[in-house]
Structure 1
Amino acid sequence: MDGKRNNAPAIGIDLGTTYSCVAVWKHGRIEIIPNDQGNRTTPSCVAFSDAERLIGDSAKNQVAMNPANTIFDAKRLIGRRFGDSKVQDDMKLWPFRVIQGPVDTPKIVVSYKGEENEFLAEEISSMILGKMKETAESYLGKVVKDSVITVPAYFNDSQRQATKDAGAIAELNVIRIINEPTAAAIAYGLDNKSDITCKINVLVFDLGGGTFDVSLLTMAEGGGTLEVKAVAGDTHLGGEDFDSRMVHHCAQEFNRRWNKDLTGNKRALGRLRCACEKAKRILSCNNLTSIDLDCLHEGIDFSMKFSRAKFEVLNMGFFVKCIETVEACLRDAKMEKPYVNEVILVGGSTRIPKVQCMLQEFFERKELCKSVNPDEAVAYGAAVMAAKLSGNNHKSCRDLLLLDVTPLSLGVGILGDIFDVVIPRNTPIPTKKSKVYNTSRDNQPCVDVQVYQGERTRSTDNHLLGTFRISGIPPAPKGIAKLEYCFEIDANCILTVTAKILSTGKTEKLTITNANGRLCMEEIEKMMEDAVKYKQEDQEYRKRADAFNALEECIYNMKNKIKNMENCKRLKKMERGIADTTKWLEQNQAASVDELHRMKKHLESICMPKFWFVNNVC
């Protein structure tokens, strides 16, 4: 496989909050790659037990039985601080434990193989990315290295950097980070290029499991050129929040009926969350469903009817916020509603009838575009970009030109705790802008440059990306010495800041460090080693499980073989051999692969010697 490394195409990965998807350009078109279960999307879920680590479908399938050690929603933690109010709110609902790590980074605590382990969100995300990488490698028969990974349009610099780190830990070379709604627009443009005969304005409404984005793009004739005009969104709004409202309502109802609080019972909450998610999906098709759970808490069965109307009332605040975000995006783009030609729905939560109804009413009964698959469009677009960046000469890839924007304003903190913007939000990228500042006191020898991202007037109300110092300013009265701050954003929407003393030419650069949650190379390398270790452990576990199952099957087969051997002289020896092996297996559940193989061969030598059965005579 290693010999084919250079021939492997680049893949596109939609790293979602609840589900992830991988795609690749093959045979002149995009292929969505099914996982080992045959599913085209994979749950963004990782579980740990005393025996093994599970990723994807197998992890999600056992969440109700093992909630404290089953991790989901890692995307809601990535690039955030432990003290973030949204992290604190989520922690009240998650069945797994999150603690404060170094420099206020959140760490997830699980029990794995009898020991307590701590993981950063980047590590959990890297495990999911690793699963997508394996899925692609199994399909292509080659080692995959290059990838394009998507992120919510409203992710800040720290969250984008953390996603790149997750890719590095998974041994992926992340050649580009692109915004999810932009990737969906690429998918729409490729699928409808023959219908796009003039410049059109497209609004992508992307409501997923954990994040929400709105992007307004202009698409040129043929759909090859995409120019993003404005983005808006909320990195903490999606289907998970709708589930949480349902869970909270059910828990209140349980308390009302039996005067018992089940919120401290993590297993009960895990089962309830699974039932609510299932009910939510049913309510997108039916007006009524029921939630039925046996022995939910303290032996009490729980059953209640849940109507679509009740679901809509519980979540109306979220739905209204979605429409307000669409309004903000149009405002930023300076575009009136009638000038929007297409409204494209992306993300599983756009299947909710009330969301579609409110969006249609906002656009004055305009038909919504459902021609792209809401679960797969983002991975589809990412794979097109991956093909283009890796030199694919197909016309659809070659003609693709993407002009994206920065989602949030970038600037520095100045005197009086004021945030001074250098690059306004919705500025086309890549971009490079500079601003000149004066010293604030006499003979000032140095300046601490604080770089922020956000939309608030006060510096400290925004997200601090990093701080660095430039020293060696020649003595001069206040306001005389001048410094130039240069902000440069690359195609991945990732920032580099340079400060320059104009009189001497001395410069200093911002290095994203642990100060804002970015992992250093040593930490990434250690996590890569851990990822390899976990993968090897998983492989060893599978080998042992296969050997264990092979021995069990051998015992079963031998029992069947001796059923009709009444006159065989070796019968008693065979029966004793089967009984001894069965007893040994019961007493040696943790036996090694070699021991299991030896016992299988030993049993076969007793029950199936070389001279056994000559013309069916024992």
Structure 2
Amino acid sequence: MDRRRAIGIDLGTAYSCVAIFQHDKVEVIPNELFERTTPSYVTFTKYRRLVGSDAKYQADANPNGTIFNVKRLIGRRYDDAVVQNNLKHWPFQLVIDLEKPKIMIEYKEQLKLMTPEEVSALILRKMKQIAEDHLGGPVTDAVITVPAAFTDSQRQATKDAAVIAGLNVLRILSEPVAAAMAYGLHNQISGLRQILIFDLGGGTTNVSVIVIYKGVLDVKSTSGDVQIGGEDFHIRMATYFIEKFKREHNIDLSKNKHAKQRLRSACEQAKKTLSSSTQASINIDLFHENIDFKSTITRTQFEKINDDLFVSMRTIIETTLRDAKMDKSSIDDVVLIGGSSRIPKIRDLIRDFFNGKLLNQSINPDEAVAYGAAIQAAILSGNQSEQLERILSLDVAPYSLGIEAKDGQITTIIERNTTIPTKQSRTFEVSPSYQADKIVTELIEHDERRPKLPMTPFLNQKCDVDIKVFEGQDGLAINNNLLGCFTLSDILFSSDVAPQIEITFDIDANGILNVSAIDKTSQKENKMRVTNDKGRLSESDIESLIKKLERYDLENN
């Protein structure tokens, strides 16, 4: 048995998929029901915990105990707009704990709080088990994919979930890059190809422009919307039918969790039907009390209630091309991934945008991301297959990264869409002032042409310099996402020249950021690995959750 074999996992909002590269090809691994994708659902019944297909089957009967869409929670604060916008649509109970969202469930007649990382770990553990059952032995190493637009915090939290699940993460890989790797290997691309990946997942929409040349995948730009995904079509349809039921029966079911979950499940199936038919039926027996609900929706009606989402998708494509400094005529292939990319309106919209270009359908949209993750896993685990010899992926930073400087302005150190891994430094001068007899400081980017700041009033005194790290595109710090803060202490004003601080941002191949700062005079240094959330799981939290997961396994057997 090869101890270095590694799997690729597409940890999806709605469905997850696992694959492995072996015998010179990628193999998508089916679950125990011979399904090639597994629902990203976890259910707690009175006596058991269920994950995957079994959990999804329980959702209608046990809405309060069934957790899904956890990918929209992981790495976010409770007050995040995405969390707040989805609260009213989730049947399970969400509570705030140290500014983080936690899920309250009842299990073995006790109320328990679960972190999003813990729920994701259960799904990852399921995918790990699927692979182990198929391969006949333990698997530890994995590449796990995330949306291109995932923040540093969300990537870190996903990695934490994998550790809880008993996995060693070789790489956190962006989904469009994984899809491009699948496209490149499947189509045996050897020359220059410029492709656009349109990724409509369950929870996000991401578009990336990727150039493939001699096996090197170079991401030129990526853009997206974290509030548009396949799940949102289900929500729109369910809202449409709840209003229709209200008109017909004068009964408002908008707060009835059980009815909404049954309707949501029916709408998911109707959405799939509308991809191949012009009309779909909704038939729910005893929908409310003794009332059966029977209705239909046409493809035209579906497109009308989601029209603004389609408009937004076109805008994302335009933004991505503009950021890549490319015209749409220079795109050789348009590759669609994600189950909802099968929606005819989306395909028509993209085809029309590219002036009738045929869409590339060479790879399965449900499996492409796991397929690419398996390729990356094989490369990182040292697989010597000739098929993999020339494949190299270069991802980009999805957001600009910088620090708060004077007057609350942002000074960008790494620009959005910079190829990663990358390491970049800037030098700043300390700008001091007195406030209530205390020295407070701001940072100004060093410029040899600017007149020197007078330091005489501060000579031989010491100060602390706070370094606040942000991600986002706005020029004002307050309008961006604070990733973290650390301090350089006891900086001495030793001359009439302002102390200079060199700040370095280092993003690794997983898209995870490390920041360091050094006083160029004293060589005092401090650094931080950005966690983006003071409520992030500590090492002891992770260890505790690993043991908790092991107890769940024992109780379930």
TM above 0.5, one fold?
yes
Q: Percent identical across equivalent pairs?
A: 47
> What's the CA shift for 1:437?
1.3
Change (3 A) 1:441 1:272: same
Instruction: State yes or no: 1:71 paired with 2:62.
Output: no
Equivalent in the alignment of 2:126: 131
- Compute the RMSD of aligned alpha carbons: 1.4
Equivalent in the alignment of 2:159: 164
> What's the CA shift for 1:197?
4.7
In structure 1, what is the Cα distance between the partners aligned to 2:146 and 2:94? 23
In structure 2, what is the Cα distance between the partners aligned to 1:522 and 1:310? 51
Deviations 1:125-182 (A, max 9, x none): 0000000000011111111110000000110100000000000000100010110011
> What's the CA shift for 1:298?
3.2
**2:206 maps to amino acid:** D
> What's the CA shift for 1:398?
2.3
Contact persistence 2:10–2:16 (CA under 8 A): yes
Flag the structure with larger Rg.
Answer: 1
**2:57 maps to amino acid:** N
Alignment match of 2:187 (pick from 163, 187, 192): 192
In structure 2, what is the Cα distance between the partners aligned to 1:236 and 1:37? 31
> What's the CA shift for 1:98?
0.5
Point out where structure 2 has 5 or more consecutive residues left out of the alignment. Answer: 434-457
> What's the CA shift for 1:78?
0.5
Equivalent in the alignment of 2:197: 204
**1:437 maps to amino acid:** F
In structure 2, what is the Cα distance between the partners aligned to 1:51 and 1:494? 39
Q: Give 1:454-469 correspondences, 5 Å limit.
A: 454-469=472-487
Q: Give 1:433-472 correspondences, 5 Å limit.
A: 433-442=424-433, 443=458, 445-472=463-490
Alignment match of 1:473 (pick from 491, 499, 504): 491
Contact persistence 1:22–1:32 (CA under 8 A): yes
Instruction: State yes or no: 1:519 paired with 2:537.
Output: yes
Which secondary structure does the structure 2 equivalent of 1:456 belong to? Answer: coil
Equivalent in the alignment of 1:487: 505
Which secondary structure does the structure 2 equivalent of 1:466 belong to? Answer: strand
> What's the CA shift for 1:235?
2.3
**2:542 maps to amino acid:** I
Instruction: State yes or no: 1:312 paired with 2:308.
Output: no
> What's the CA shift for 1:212?
1.2
Equivalent in the alignment of 2:367: 376
Q: Give 1:86-235 correspondences, 5 Å limit.
A: 86-102=82-98, 104-193=99-188, 196-221=189-214, 224-235=215-226
Equivalent in the alignment of 2:53: 57
> What's the CA shift for 1:479?
7.1
In structure 2, what is the Cα distance between the partners aligned to 1:478 and 1:132? 62
Deviates more, 1:29-38 or 1:433-442: 433-442
Change (3 A) 1:79 1:477: farther
Equivalent in the alignment of 2:356: 365
**2:238 maps to amino acid:** V
Equivalent in the alignment of 2:6: 10
Q: Give 1:162-561 correspondences, 5 Å limit.
A: 162-193=157-188, 196-221=189-214, 224-442=215-433, 443=458, 445-475=463-493, 480-513=498-531, 515-539=533-557
> What's the CA shift for 1:512?
3.7
> What's the CA shift for 1:301?
1.9
Higher RCO by CA contacts (8 Å cutoff, separation 6 or greater): 2
Deviates more, 1:171-180 or 1:439-448: 439-448
Deviations 1:218-243 (A, max 9, x none): 1114xx21111111112231110011
**1:25 maps to amino acid:** F
Change (3 A) 1:80 1:410: same
Contact persistence 1:288–1:308 (CA under 8 A): yes
Provide TM-score, normalisation by structure 1.
0.84
Contact persistence 2:17–2:36 (CA under 8 A): yes
> What's the CA shift for 1:478?
8.9
**2:363 maps to amino acid:** V
> What's the CA shift for 1:81?
0.6
Give the structure with the larger strand fraction: 2
In structure 2, what is the Cα distance between the partners aligned to 1:65 and 1:478? 73
Point out where structure 1 has 5 or more consecutive residues left out of the alignment. Answer: 540-618
> What's the CA shift for 1:198?
2.4
**1:73 maps to amino acid:** N
**2:50 maps to amino acid:** L
> What's the CA shift for 1:515?
3.9
Alignment match of 1:29 (pick from 25, 30, 46): 25
In structure 2, what is the Cα distance between the partners aligned to 1:494 and 1:513? 9
Change (3 A) 1:253 1:476: farther
Deviates more, 1:427-436 or 1:393-402: 393-402
Deviations 1:509-557 (A, max 9, x none): 1134584443110111111111111111112xxxxxxxxxxxxxxxxxx
Which secondary structure does the structure 1 equivalent of 2:77 belong to? Answer: coil
> What's the CA shift for 1:264?
1.9
In structure 1, what is the Cα distance between the partners aligned to 2:147 and 2:190? 29
Contact persistence 1:441–1:477 (CA under 8 A): no
In structure 2, what is the Cα distance between the partners aligned to 1:386 and 1:470? 39
Structure 1 runs (4+) deviating above 3 angstroms are 476-479, 511-517
Contact persistence 1:464–1:516 (CA under 8 A): no
Contact persistence 2:482–2:532 (CA under 8 A): no
In structure 1, what is the Cα distance between the partners aligned to 2:471 and 2:96? 23
Change (3 A) 1:141 1:478: farther
In structure 1, what is the Cα distance between the partners aligned to 2:312 and 2:497? 45
In structure 2, what is the Cα distance between the partners aligned to 1:301 and 1:140? 46
In structure 1, what is the Cα distance between the partners aligned to 2:19 and 2:170? 15
Change (3 A) 1:449 1:269: same
In structure 2, what is the Cα distance between the partners aligned to 1:400 and 1:514? 32
Equivalent in the alignment of 2:451: none
In structure 1, what is the Cα distance between the partners aligned to 2:509 and 2:532? 23
Which secondary structure does the structure 2 equivalent of 1:133 belong to? Answer: helix
